[in-house]
Structure formats: C-alpha cells, structure tokens
Amino acid sequence: MLDLLDRVDLGLLWLNAQGQIKVCNQWLVDLAGLQSRPDGQTLTEAFGPEVDPKLLRAVEQALQLGRATRLSHAFHPTPLPLRARRGDPQQRMQQAVDVLPLRWLGAQGCLVQVRDLTEATRREQLLKQQARQLGHDLGELRIAQDELTRHSTRLRELTRLAPVALFETDLQGHLLYTNDRFLSLWNLSPAAILGRHWSALLPQQAALALAAPWAELMSTPDRIQRDVRIATPDADDRWLQLEAGALRNLDGAAFGYLASLVDVTALYRRAQHLEHRAHHDPLTGLPNREKLMQKLEGGLAAAQWLGQALRLIFIDLDGFKLVNDLHGHAAGDAVLQAIGQRARRVIRGEDVIARLAGDEFALMLSDAPTLAQVDAVMDKVMSAITEPIRYGDQWLSVGGSWGLASFPADGTDAGTLLAAADACMYAQKQARKRTQGERLGAVAGRSQ
C-alpha cells in the first residue's frame, strides 16, 4: 500500500485523531528534505515551524469537526516547506492542499493531499501576462480603430462638402472613387463610372493632350495642373482645371492617383470678355489702337520673315465735327458705328481695320498687296465711308482722307509706319484742301 502511495504524483499524509502522522509518502519525504518518514510526529515536528497555521487549523477542524478544507494556492501558496522540483532548489514549491476527514483502518483521522502547482502557476502567470498584453493591445487597436473611423468619416464629409470634383484611380487610371460633385459634373451615376478609365470622359483631343503629363505623375513627386477644354457639339465649350498627384505608400511606391477637377468655364469667359474689352473700341466693336499695334507687329514680323511688303492706311473722316455740331453726339456715334460695320464688310478676313481715336481709323493690309490692289480696296472703303447714313428721318454723310505707308519703304516698325501713314494722310488732306481752295478761288474769279 505504501509502495503504491509512493508512486503517486502528489503528497499524501494521514494523521490520526491525535494529529500524529501515520502515513507520509516518499514524494513528501523527498521534497521536504526529510531524513526518514516522520511516523508518529505532528506536522510541526516533522516539517518545522514554517508550516502555515491555516493548515494546522484545517487539520484540527477535520479531526475534531469532520470538516474538509481546501487551502487554495492563491491564498496559501506554500502551506508546507517543500522545495521546487525544477529550477532553483532554493525556490519553494507552489502548492494547493486539501484536508479531509478520513477514517482509515477503523481509526478516525484526516488525509492531507498536497498538489504541486508550481508549473500550473507559471503557466497561468504567463497566460495572464499574455491576456493583459492582449487586452492592452486590443485597447490600443480600439483607439486606433476609433481614430481611423473618425478620420474616415472626416474624410468622407470633406470630400462630400468639397467645392471641387474629386476622383481616385488605380495606377492604370481606372476610377475607384468619385465624390458626388464629380458625378454631377459628368451627369453620371457611380455604377456607370467606376472601373472606367477616367480619360474616357474627356474629348479625344483633351485625353491625348493629358496622356503624357498623367504618365509623368508616376515618377515625379510634383502634382500636375492643366486646363482642359471640353468641346461638345450640342453645348457650349467648357473648361476644366485638372490637378492630380500620385498616391504613395510608406515606401514611396505609387499605388494610384488622386485628382480634382474644377469647372473654370466662367473664369475663361470672363477673361475672354475682359481681353475683348481691352482690345476693342466699345462703340464700333472694331479693334482699338492697342490691338492694331499688336496685329501690326505680328504682321511686320511675318512680312519681314517672308520678305514681303505690308501696307498700312491711315483714315481720317472729313466733316465729322460738323455732324456732331449740327445733329449732336448721338448722331456722330451712329455715323461711326455705321462706318465700322460697312468697312468690316468690304475688307478681307485677314486684314484689320481699327478705330484709333475720335474719327481716325487705320487699315492694315497683309499679303503684300500692290498699290493697285490698295487703291481698289480703298475705293470700297471710301464708298463705305461716304455713302449717306440714315439717322432718324435724315441722311448724314461724311467724307474721308487717307494716307498710305508701306513696309519696308516707309518704316520697319509699327510706330514709324503708323506715323508715316498719318503724315501721308495729313499731306493728302492738306493738298486736297488747297486744291479745293484754288477751285473755289477760280470759280469766284470767274463769277466776278
């Protein structure tokens, strides 16, 4: 029997009603470092003063009251002074002890069972440590998740409220995400648009123009900005401003593109309008002096390059002041508008007629016209000027004087050429006035 008890992997003691040890298995003898089996000794005599008083009380209760008692490891880690079976021999064995009343061989007594919990304790501590770490990690993960959710919500709201159309594509340019403004810009639904190449939304010419800068995005850290003209046959042209940049991961590798589109049509129209106002005479709609000078410089550069002549004619109205004085400025304005319209009709598309100031006009003829061709054009222009103009129930008429300056003979720059044409016109006007004066004098002489 004792041999059997010596082979079990736990400590066993049986004490009689007097609290004397009658059975002590080898497990306890070895681990308590006893010289021999403590037959007839009390617990304190056998194991020394380090025996936990709780254990002594439990034994007492078992023997006197028949109570069974569990001394858990948590509250009583080492009720008996036993050495640990592994590791540091100075370490105490972590134990759990059960004391239960037990009659044996007809005698009242109690059984003390000692379980070695050293390994279980170590494992459980490890488990608890891991659980705490896991709890901590989960807490951090939850915080990160909350932050991510907040971030994502913020981003979604920002893209929803953004005053521009936003879209994301993969590296091949296929649409992965668009905001509502993007959809309304193209009047499309997400189902119709996602997965398509974004440039398929553009006219072919614009798509081709953007292909190269879009491809460059992959290799440059910079963003690109381009204005794209959207020409549609059944609607006015639109202008969109595209700004795009690559999306990169932490290693710097691009994984897609994020881009915005802003409709800048209104800006373009306003700029065109301002540009027109800056270069045109508001009364006649003809180019003004500044525009003429620009055209003249362009024309001179071309003429110089081609080795051709260029003709500039300065025109000054005769009798315009009289119209103003007799019929008022509104009548004068009507005359200028009518002359502007007519003159535009009689010149070629590539020629330019401009109102310089007051009743002064200038006409630039490109393509090296001969003097005969100039005369032919001026005949038409002068007819347009001198033909009577209906103003209310009256007919108004003015005359005109003109002077020609040619490149390169009379000047090689715009200012010189214009001054030369002006001087020529003035000379012609003076000469005509003189001739008219002589004629009038001759007529007066004849009548005298």
Partner 1 sequence: MVAPLDELESDALGEAFNMALGEAAASFAELVNEEITITVPNVELMAREALSQRLAALDLPGLGERLTAISQNFHSSDRKLSTEALLLFGERGGLEIVRRMLGETDMPLEQITELEQDALGEVGNIIINSCMSTLASIFGSEMQGTLPDVSQPRADQLFGAHSAGEVVLMVRIGMGLRSLDITGYVLFLMDLPSLTHVVARVRHYFGLDA
Query: Site residues (CB under 8 A) for partner 1?
Result: 61, 65-75, 96, 98, 100-101, 117, 120-121, 124, 127-128, 131-132, 134-135, 138
CB of 37 to partner 1, least distance (A): 25
135 or 441: whose CB is closer to partner 1?
Answer: 135
CB of 259 to partner 1, least distance (A): 46
6 or 98: whose CB is closer to partner 1?
Answer: 98
143 or 330: whose CB is closer to partner 1?
Answer: 143
CB of 68 to partner 1, least distance (A): 5
CB of 133 to partner 1, least distance (A): 9
Please report, as a single letter, which amino acid is at residue 158: L
**Long-range pairs of 432-438 with CB within 8 A, sequence gap ≥ 24:** 432/401
CB of 144 to partner 1, least distance (A): 18
- Tokens 């992997």 found at: 9
Structure tokens at 89: 């021999």
72 or 430: whose CB is closer to partner 1?
Answer: 72
Residue 422 backbone class (left: φ over 0; alpha: ψ -120 to 50; beta: rest): alpha
Eight-class DSSP state of 189: -
CA-CA distances (angstroms) from residue 409 to 86, 183, 406, 426?
Answer: 117, 62, 6, 18
CB of 127 to partner 1, least distance (A): 7
**Residue 207 burial by Cβ neighbours in a 10 Å radius (0-12, 13-18, 19+):** middle
What sign for the dihedral angle of Cα 274, 336, 318, 377?
Answer: positive
What CA–CA distance (Å, rounded) separates 155 from 161? 10
124 or 325: whose CB is closer to partner 1?
Answer: 124
CB of 180 to partner 1, least distance (A): 43
Paired residues of 400 in beta bridges: 317
**Which residue from 93, 73, 126, 121 is spatially nearest to 9, judged by alpha carbons?**
93
118 or 406: whose CB is closer to partner 1?
Answer: 118
Query: DSSP of 16-27, one letter per residue?
Result: ETTS-EEEE-HH
120 or 218: whose CB is closer to partner 1?
Answer: 120
**Which residue from 355, 337, 347 is spatially nearest to 286, judged by alpha carbons?**
355
CB of 73 to partner 1, least distance (A): 6
Determine if the peptide bond prior to 408 is cis (ω within 30°): yes
CB of 181 to partner 1, least distance (A): 46
What CA–CA distance (Å, rounded) separates 283 from 289? 14
Residues 6+ apart with CB under 8 A from 29: 36, 37, 38
11 or 411: whose CB is closer to partner 1?
Answer: 11
Q: Which alpha helices (DSSP H) does 307-353 contain, by range?
A: 320-327, 329-346
CB of 47 to partner 1, least distance (A): 21
What sign for the dihedral angle of Cα 177, 181, 182, 184?
Answer: positive
122 or 248: whose CB is closer to partner 1?
Answer: 122
68 or 194: whose CB is closer to partner 1?
Answer: 68
